[in-house]
Amino acid sequence: MPASIVIGTQWGDEGKGKATDLLADHMDFVVRYQGGNNAGHTIIAEGHELKLHLVPSGILYPHLTSVIADGVVVDPRVLLEEMDGLAAVGIDPSRLRVSGNCHMIMPYHLEIERVTERFLGKNALGTTKRGIGPAYGDKAARIGLRIQDLFDEKIFREKLEVVLKEKNQVLTRVYGRLPLTVDLIEDDYLRYAERLRPHVADTARLLHDGLHAGKNVLLEGAQGTMLDLDKGTYPFVTSSNPVAGYALASAGIGPREVDRVIGVTKAYVTRVGAGPFPTEDLGAGGELLGERGHEFGTTTGRKRRCGWFDAVILRYAARVNGLTELFLTKLDVLSGFERVRVCTSYRADGEVFEDVPPHQSLFHRAEPVYEELEGWDEELVDARAFGDLPAAARTYVERLQELGGVPISVVSVGPAREQSLAVA
What is the nearest approach in angstroms of ligand IMP to the Cβ of residue 224? 7
Distance in Å, CB of 223 to ligand IMP, minimum:
5
Alpha-carbon Rg for the chain in angstroms: 22
Question: Would you please indicate which residues are annotated as catalytic (active-site) residues?
Answer: 13, 41
Minimum CB distance to ligand IMP, residue 295 (Å): 11
Smallest distance from ligand IMP to CB 136, Å: 8
Contact segment (CB under 6 A) with ligand IMP among 11-19, 93-101, 140-148, 167-175 equals: 11-19
Rounded distance between C-alpha atoms, residue 114 and residue 124, angstroms: 11
Phi and psi, residue 74, nearest 5°: -110, 125
User: What is the DSSP code (8-state) at residue 173?
Assistant: I
Q: Hey, what long-range contacts does 165-168 have (CB within 8 A, 24 or more apart)?
A: 167/108, 167/112, 168/108
111 CB-contact burial (10 Å; exposed 0-12 / middle 13-18 / buried 19+): buried
The 8-class DSSP code of residue 176 comes to -
CB-based closest residue to ligand IMP: 273
Binding pattern for the stretch 123-152 against ligand IMP, x by CB under 6 A and - elsewhere: --xxxx-x-xx-------------------
For ligand IMP, the binding residue among 223, 345, 409, 412 (CB under 6 A) is 223
- The least distance separating ligand IMP from the CB of residue 138, rounded to whole angstroms, comes to 14
In angstroms, the CA 96 to CA 25 distance is 17
Element (H, E) at 411: strand 408-412
Q: Give the number of other Cβ atoms within 10 Å of residue 194's Cβ.
A: 10
Compare residues 29 and 236 and give the one whose CB is closer to ligand IMP.
236
The answer to whether 233 contacts ligand IMP (rule: CB under 6 A) is no
Q: Which residues contact 414 (CB under 8 A, 6 or more apart)?
A: 332, 380, 381
Closer to ligand IMP by Cβ: residue 321 or 324: 321
Q: Which of residues 70-129 bind ligand IMP (CB under 6 A)?
A: 125-128
Pick 41 or 341: Cβ nearer ligand IMP: 41
Among 37, 225, 239, 241, binds ligand IMP (CB under 6 A): 239
Residues that bind ligand IMP (CB under 6 A): 11-13, 38-39, 125-128, 130, 132-133, 222-223, 227, 238-239, 272-273
